[in-house]
Structure 1
Amino acid sequence: MLPAVEADARIADAIRVMREYGLYHVLVTSGERVEGILSVVDAARSFMEKLEAAGDVERVDAVRRFFEERVSRLATRPVIVVEEGVSMRDAARIMHSHRIGCLPVVKDDVVTRAICEPDVVRALVEEGRRDPVYRHATRRLVYVEYEATIMEALGVIVEGGFRRLPVLARGALAGITTVHMLMEALVANPKMLYEQVGRVMKPAVTVDLWTPVYKAAEEVLRSNVGAVILVEGGTLAGIFTERDAVRVYAG
């Protein structure tokens, strides 16, 4: 079941729930009724708009105020849903065409569960496709430097519509950060806004360009950040993400 928060919950609470479950979306409910769905990327986009409107002196206070706002303000409506019994392939095609990461599944207008990107990645693993991952990866690798601030990293994420960013130090891969890791750091301490992004990252998983796509998908699941970095002879060559896996499985 896709985790849910009440419509009057704070944005900070929704960020923590998404981070806890390792998902990029959360249902917004009022009692048993689904009011909408909140994406952490949408939250980050709104967050950056607030920061840009605030002056340099007021930014830390703007961070605090943003996370105290109610999730109902940011929830997407209407929610795209699928009926119980939908095939994983059809669900992947809907997710790919709408560029969404989770689909609530309904039966008699009641949400019973959700199909999310990790479910599609598992299906891709089970399918056992052996073509090399480089054919399906995102080859244009966007990254941030270790010394970049968390605010700068979030700006790159929002501008590119990304969920995660490799972090480089002196040209070498130092780790990877995600939008929820960055947002959660700011929930805990708004003054982290100006700290180096290198403080909010984890080791990145790398695979060779010629790795079979199902093996790369296995590593995506193990990574806990929904992505692996492609390397060729020690050189960074791309990134393979959950979203790429959905595109592959959708056909």
Structure 2
Amino acid sequence: MKTTVGQILGSKSAQVHSVAPGVTVFEALALMATHNIGAVLVTEDDRLVGIFTERDYARKVVLKGLRSADVTVRDLMTPAPYTITADVTLEAVMNIMTEKRFRHLPVLDDGRLIGIVTIGDVVKTVIDQQRQTIEHLSNYIAGDLAT
């Protein structure tokens, strides 16, 4: 059975951190620092309108000499971000993240935001699966040797 995005979301906190497009970059960064996250989703009227990431900050504020207290998220966010649904497989997520160089993928269900999958979630899931496989094989081998 292949692991799906829905299963990944089920194993993590259901809380999705978002900001309105009009908040300052400074406010968005403060939220990201408080929750130790690398991105916030940008929502308006319960609709996903963008994503703001640490990469957006580094490339669009720092390098351009802007002040995070003077710029809004709307000005720097990635509008209409690439999204996935809960039935997408872990393998497909890894391919999307690798090919498109994404570290965060918002998850929608009938256009409604239900979560976000990060590169950290993917790595954790793969490591957990490998650990389970090793444990299963170790038990199998130990069982064979005991007979």
TM-score range, shorter chain: 0.7 to 0.9
Q: Is 1:233 paired with 2:110?
A: yes
Moved over 4 A (4+): none
Q: Is 1:133 paired with 2:5?
A: yes
Match of 1:191 in 2: 67
Q: Which amino acid aligns with 1:210?
A: D
Q: Deviations over 1:124-178 (max 9, x none)?
A: xxxxx72221111343211111111000000011001011111112221111111
**More relative contact order, 1 or 2 (CA 8 Å, 6+ apart):** 2
Match of 1:171 in 2: 46
Q: Is 1:242 paired with 2:119?
A: yes
Paired with 2:100 and 2:81, the residues of 1 have a C-alpha distance of 8
Residues 160, 225 of structure 1: alpha-carbon distance in 2 compared, 3 angstrom cutoff: same
Q: Which amino acid aligns with 2:6?
A: Y
Does the 8 Å CA contact 1:185/1:192 hold for their aligned counterparts? no
Q: Which amino acid aligns with 1:227?
A: H
Residues 205, 150 of structure 1: alpha-carbon distance in 2 compared, 3 angstrom cutoff: same
Paired with 1:194 and 1:170, the residues of 2 have a C-alpha distance of 24
Does the 8 Å CA contact 2:41/2:52 hold for their aligned counterparts? yes
Q: Alignment RMSD, CA only?
A: 1.8
Q: Structure 2-normalised TM-score? A: 0.75
Q: Which runs of structure 2 are paired with 1:43-122 in the superposition (5 Å)?
A: none
Does the 8 Å CA contact 2:96/2:102 hold for their aligned counterparts? no
Match of 1:211 in 2: 88
Match of 1:89 in 2: none
Paired with 2:44 and 2:99, the residues of 1 have a C-alpha distance of 24
Q: Structure 1-normalised TM-score? A: 0.46
Which structure has more strand as a fraction of its residues?
A: 1
Match of 2:29 in 1: 154
Identity %: 18
